[in-house]
Amino acid sequence: MPERTASHRPDSSVAAARPVGVFVGLATLDVIHYLPVAPGANEKVTATDSSIAAGGPAANAAVTFAGLGGDAVLITAIGRHPVGDLIRADLDRYGVRVVDLSAEVDSEPALSAITVSGNGDRSVVSMDATGFDLAEIPDLAPWIGPADILLIDGHHPALADVAARTANRLGVPVVIDAGRWKPQMATLVPQAGTVICSGDFRVPGSHDVRESAARLVADGNRIVITTQGAEAVLWWEGGRHGEIVPPRIAAVDTLGAGDVFHGAYCFFATQEDTCLTDRLGGAASVAAVRCARRGARAWLSDLPHRSPRPSPGTASPPDHPDPIPRPHLDDAGRPDKREPAPAPRPPSATIAAVLPQRTMP
């Protein structure tokens, strides 16, 4: 499926300044404690610091997209429990517009108990999306139609499936956050033009990241990316492959680093005149900025604000969604993700302009 950039939208001058990203998936309330060392069994430890913030892969990616200057919309399930007000308030503060498909549901949102140890490693315990049943999904075209890119994180599987199918029908590029293999991935992964895998993701039957990526490429996914923490980011596109070495930093907090990478990748993918290595280099640099600062949101102050922040709050569908060109289809009527990749281009000045102007140690 051909990628669209912001210039394909009717008002290109506005879209170029603030691309639209739609993020579909999990929103949680993260309760974070910072500890010198991880506690042992039956041990009580006094934290050196603590914080509360909205979390979840899609939510964190949306915050990053907004922090870089994009217009971020999160489609999720939060509900009207008082805990949900904390989630909405944090997302609102950081420029993410929320579409809550469970606004009238009393269920408590997912809570994540998180510890971050002195070396920056984190541990997470969460109910994820198991508290909500989103079997009935409304028409998502009014929100997805105007988007320049869609990311799904695989949580709320029925919602993710409808979102991906809607985006493919409307020609909106689909990115999937493939953190670990879950049963719904068998349905969702084939619908994504770009699959961003963690180092833990394995297609069933594969034994390492390269074999897993090879399976995805063989199945028709046009772009496959594997992140490996501080190690090289591996990529495959159109018969080519390579790696990007992230900036070397003294990491103090890795919580949400992968989510930040995904949100930054989506933002840079909407910029004109960027190739895959541009996007990966920019995303890796933004993730490094996140890991160099303690706190769920403190690192955002190190990002330049390129455009006016969107008006936050609850998102309503536009009255007249932008006309979107239909994707190229294969012989079976499915979006064709196997078309030849574009020729390599020089590094983009657009991406360099939005990254923090500082040298990473």
Span 124-144, pLDDT tens digits: 777 665 666 666 899 999 999
- Compare 24 and 343 and report the one with higher pLDDT: 24
Band of residue 72 on the pLDDT scale cut at 50, 70, 90: very high
Rounded-to-integer distance, Cα 32 and Cα 294, Å: 11
Phi first, then psi, for residue 72 (nearest 5°) are: -105, 130
Burial of 140 (0-12, 13-18, 19+ CB in 10 A): buried
pLDDT given for residue 226 in this prediction? 97
Burial of 151 (0-12, 13-18, 19+ CB in 10 A): buried
pLDDT given for residue 233 in this prediction? 97
pLDDT given for residue 114 in this prediction? 77
Residues 260/59, Cβ–Cβ less than 8 Å: no
pLDDT given for residue 3 in this prediction? 42
pLDDT given for residue 50 in this prediction? 84
Question: Is the model's pLDDT at 220 over the cut of 70?
Answer: yes
Phi first, then psi, for residue 5 (nearest 5°) are: -110, 175
Rounded-to-integer distance, Cα 5 and Cα 157, Å: 27
Q: Which of 36-50, 159-173, 290-304, 342-356 has the highest mean pLDDT?
A: 159-173
H helix or E strand, kind and range, residue 31:
strand 28-34
> In which residue are the tokens 């430890």 written?
45
Rounded-to-integer distance, Cα 304 and Cα 86, Å: 26
Question: Is the model's pLDDT at 329 over the cut of 50?
Answer: no
Q: How far is CA 45 from CA 34, 118, 123, 126, 274, in A?
A: 10, 13, 15, 20, 47
Query: In terms of Cα–Cα distance, which of 198, 152, 159, 158 is closest to 173?
Result: 152
- Compare 96 and 38 and report the one with higher pLDDT: 96
132 Cβ contact list (under 8 Å, min separation 6)? 77, 79, 102, 105, 107, 156
H helix or E strand, kind and range, residue 115:
strand 110-116
Give the 3-state secondary structure of 206-261: CCCHHHHHHHHHHCCCCEEEEEECCEEEEEEECCEEEEECCCCCCCCCCCCHHHHH
